[in-house]
Amino acid sequence: MIPVHAGVGKNLKNAVEGNTMKIVIPGFSFNSISGGIKKNGKKDMGLLYSEVPAVVAGVFTQNWVKAAPVFLTHQNIQKGYIQAVLVNSGCANACTGKKGIDDAKRLSAETARILKISPDLIAVSSTGVIGEFLPVNKMSTQLPGLCHDLGEEKVEDFAQAIMTTDTVTKIAFRKKIIAGKKILIGGVAKGAGMINPLLATMLVFIVTNAAVLPRTLQSLLDEGVMRSLNQITIDGDTSTNDTVLLLANGRAENPPFSKKTAEKTGFKAMLFEVLAELAQKIVQDGEGATKVIEIKVKKAKSTEEAETIARSIAHSPLVKTAFYGEEVNWGRIIAAAGKTIFPLAFEKVDLFIEKIPLVKKGVNVAPHNEKQAQAILTKRNFTVTLVLNQGKREASILTTDLSPDYVTINAGYKS
């Protein structure tokens, strides 16, 4: 398995100035505006536009309760092309019945009319409070300004408009010359809480000027998401609105990438790096998080076993609060590992914080290493490794601690 942080930080000097990512992907433009959804008047509507219909791939929430925009966008991408993505924050338009669907269709149709494209080429996405209706009349009056003032350089504005409890924008960018063509990939994400992708109020939009075969694009996105966004968790909750869209407009005029050429030329690696970086940025910005922890499970009988046990540890409130309190309470980790459907032979188990052993073959050695382990727990980032010694498979999950600030943020989220 590729670690979720694989490639993170690579080539960032190409595009980073402070906390602002400067990216331009030929043929794509962006904008944002205040549509009157958020009470504080901040930007809450964003638009991503391609000057030509782009080949599209999508991955959506596996929650049985899905928001109206998820249904509509999933339907529209079946034809294989999307030209614009209308996103709002502050209201999830989830659990809103027929009215929610009608509202999403109305906004989609009005956007398409202004842009002079087919409504079938519009994807819609929402994030925010569940169970409330969109203020469609207010939003409609802002659509002309949103559509007419698009700019290639307005990625940061778009990223700000889709934030909810996020404290920073999340943008990633890669570029490479492939067969004489400059290939660029840029991605924008939002998400800080309700993150346990089964794919979480997590939204991710990735664009590239490359030409990619439609089946290849979906295959690459499926695999890339499984290796990155599906290997993170903040609080174990999966949202009603998760959406990841990948648009390829072909402006690079390269021979369309197949699965084979995407891997051979490095396009696949570029895409996976963007996904991995966005995944890590989501965890780094976890609601109330003071620490980011990678949970590794090694020498399991199967990858499923390793991932299930790693996720069980990562989700445990007792483990996460111990991390926040910087407590070397390894018993909580073992207990969380032992509560899954997969049998765990404790007498075989090794447990480490970084390279410091806490348990060796089921024997407590933590007292001998307490000070070293304690010092590691004070750091912002560290790794916990559980070695089952039962097989040859492994998996890792990136997670956060659980702080009082997480409770405060979510106790007052709606207000």
Residue showing tokens 């660029």: 184
**Is 385 tagged catalytic?**
no
Return all residues near 231 (Cβ < 8 A) that are at least 6 apart. Answer: 1, 4, 279, 307, 395, 396, 397, 398
Going by the DSSP 8-state scheme, the letter that residue 168 receives in this structure is S
Q: Compute the distance between CA of residue 204 and CA of residue 275 in angstroms, rounded to an integer.
A: 9
Residue 199 buriedness (CB in 10 A; 0-12 / 13-18 / 19+): buried
Write out the DSSP string of 248-314: E--TT-PPPB-HHHHHHHTHHHHHHHHHHHHHHHHHHT-TT-S-EEEEEEEEESSHHHHHHHHHHHH
- Which is the catalytic residue, given 73, 127, 201, 400? 201
DSSP letters, 189-207, are EE-SSS--------EEEEE
Q: CA neighbours within 13 Å on the CB side: how many for 247?
A: 31
Exposure string for 67-85, b = 16+ CB within 10 A, e = fewer = bbbbebbeebbeeebbbbb
**Beta pairing class for 243-248 and 363-364:** unpaired
Residues facing residue 178 across a β-bridge: 181
Radius of gyration (Cα) for the chain, nearest Å?
A: 22
**Which residues are identified as catalytic?**
201
